[in-house]
Chain A
Amino acid sequence: MDKFDVASSQKYDVYASRLLPREEYFTSGHRSCQGCGEALAVRWVCKAIGKEAVIAHATGCMEIVSSGFPQTAWLHPWIHVAFENTAAVASGVEAGFKILARKGKISGHPPKVVAMGGDGGTSDIGLQALSGALERGHNFTYICWDNEAYMNTGIQRSSSTPFGAMTTTTPPGKQSFGQPTWKKNMMAIAVAHGIPYVATASPSYLFDLYFKVKKAIETPGPAYIHVLSVCPTGWRSATDLSVRLGRLAVETAVFPLYEVVDGRYHLTIDVPKVRPVTDYLKPQGRFRHLREPEIKFIQQQVLARYELLLKKCEAPYPEFPPLHPAEEGE
């Protein structure tokens, strides 16, 4: 585990790209939009999980752009069943491998199981299946591609859409300023299940993302990673700004990068000086309609929530006691 420690990985940032796998598992030729942050994240997550892995994927953008019969962009064994059940499918795959390994029908270590879904498939329609799979303690990693709305069906709001954002179902108008609710805190929900590994990540911080995924799949039991995936189509942003926007989300503390290991929070990317949220909101057409009061509210909320997160990172106690007490001698 130590060799994938994020802090030490940052030391290698300068030259580590040579150490990262050159193998591609998510191949070119898929149909994602120009500047798709999600496709970039998928590519690097697939490198991190390595060859000996199986992917269950929810219906959504990534499924649609990558798996039109008879083509596929996936070099991993990959299964798509429906929208809301990916965590359940993955839990079945994991249980299946477990019994087949026990019966000696597959040799060696069973493959790693990774489930992937968008923010709608995770925080809305798939929340129950995800909660069930996390609670049951399957040894799998769930990765949420959060592009903050139902982009595949045409930019409708989800519970992960940020406050104030314009979507096709939260249009600003005389009686509306866009999305009226604050983004659902999927991290807290995942942590509440008492699972050993939870993290936020962003393809704008590739090494952070890469090593978090490594850590997640090596962790026995369920792991959850929430990846902010910039979507130029839905966010109404320039396609060459995707990586930059991912960085601004972190630098403005809108989307802090942290992990929760055995219930203990810590930041993985420090933000020495938090930038004003307007730096992040301005380049995005989905926030263009916002007026001063809403922007003020967003700024106040972002900072307040970031403060609370920092407090959690400093907390001397974990969110939950370890389920498995340390063995003697440790």
Chain B
Amino acid sequence: MGKRVGMEVSIAVSYAVGLARAEAIAAYPITPQTHIVEHLSSMVANGELEAEFINVESEHSAISACIGTSAAGARTFTATSSQGLALMHEILFIASAMRFPIVMAVANRALSGPLSIWNDHGDIMAARDIGWIQIFVENGQEAFDHTVMAFKIAEHSQVLLPTIINMDGFILTHVVEALELVDQEMVDRFLPSYHPRHYLDPKTPVTMGAFAMPEIYTEVKMKHQVTLMNAYDKITEIWQEWGKLTGRDYQPVERYKTQGAKILLLTMGCLSEVAEIAVDELRAQGVPVGLLKLRLWRPFPLAALREAVAGAKILIVCDRALSLGSATAPVLAEVRSAFYSLAKRPQILGYVVGLGGRDVSPEAFKEIVAQAQTEAKEGSSEEFHLFGVRG
């Protein structure tokens, strides 16, 4: 077991990138991702990490330079947030279609406008279809562990897909937590040096990024979809391997006090730890409530979610983002469609919480559970609720 230390989560992420021996980092400063790249810069400057740090002039160039370093054959990392992720948007699809195993930390933050530097999941929900593996973490330990594991997942020869680790901006990235670190030797054994099969090499020249006519485009997209869905098995295998080494097990859908639960909350990221408190208190009052944490967002863990929900009467999906103009919310829509074809399914209710840094307390979850119970009995004229909204 590694030693336990107090560390800011952003620094823990940088430390994990260092342990993974990332060889190239291209990043642009944006709050609240900055501490991650600042710390990586100083690791490179001090010779603690043998890597090229490219101080690009925008996030668009950050992800573009990452494609370049990855195409040259270097293990590549970047980090961004909100507007930065939005500015990368065009290139994110290309990075995954060209199968570059870039790892990116996203410090989740609301999208403008109005400008808000505070946390919600609007940034990543606007990028949910980019063809990357997307993982959510809820605390510092998870942020650390999943950053190391992401490289192994992304670089797996049957995966070769870029991977995002979502961590809530400020409320996770900027807090100091007690973490159990692992040593370099263990990481080196877990994650061998990166040697890609295809890279830009004059000895064996390849053309990367050829364009596709209509007779081939659909097949390329199908291949991408199949690979991303099949990555599920590799992801869980790699998580299990890490679990054996560290004793920390991770599941695509985590369960908390779900046994005998008739009501299930479903959360992502930091909300999960707060929801746990609410579940504890409600359970003590005899309310049969449990919690599901959606860790793996892409590929969507359909079977694991269906299995985890089995037996529940009410499933309350807590989104931390809106899908403007949609009849529902991003995660709610996905979860509802996951159960549509099943004969036996719970009532699936939706609550959007915590936009643009609005605090979500355990009391809020308790109120949501109470409201949902009433709604389940009496019905509602609304497809989802924007919880706590005024006016």
Contact = CB atoms under 8 A, between A and B. Distances in A.
A143 interface: no
B72 interface: yes
A14 to B, nearest CB: 32
Interface in A86-111: 87-100, 102-103, 105-106, 111
Nearest to B217: A69
Nearest to B44: A99
Contact of A72 (B56, B204, B207): B207
B312 to A, nearest CB: 45
Contacts of A52: 202
A88 B73 contact: no
Contacts of B207: 67, 72, 74, 78-79
B326 to A, nearest CB: 28
Nearest to A95: B52
Given A88-B60, A132-B61, A67 B209 contact: yes
The majority secondary structure among interface residues of chain B is mixed
B60 A85 contact: yes
A60 B71 CA distance: 21
B99 to A, nearest CB: 13
B213 A69 contact: yes
Given A98-B52, A99-B51, A99-B52, A88 B65 contact: yes
A99 B91 contact: no
Nearest to B50: A103
Given A79-B71, A96-B73, A105-B73, A128 B61 contact: yes
Interface string A123-149: 000001101110110000000000000
A7 interface: no
B303 interface: no
Interface in A247-285: none
A100 B74 contact: yes
Interface string B298-339: 000000000000000000000000000000000000000000
Nearest to B58: A128
A91 B94 contact: no
Interface residues of B, number: 46
Nearest to B62: A88
Contacts of B205: 74-78
A70 interface: yes
B216 interface: yes
B23 interface: yes
B64 A131 contact: no
B167 to A, nearest CB: 24
B200 interface: yes
Contacts of B62: 88
A315 interface: no
A129 B91 contact: no
Most buried by A among B50, B56, B57, B65: B65
A106 B210 CA distance: 26
Nearest to A79: B208
Contact of B68 (A72, A75, A91): A91
Contact of A96 (B24, B60, B91, B94): B24
7 contacts: A77-B202, A80-B209, A85-B61, A88-B68, A94-B72, A95-B72, A100-B73
Instruction: Give the top 5 A-B pairs by smallest Cβ distance, nearest first.
Output: A92-B68, A96-B72, A132-B57, A92-B65, A80-B209
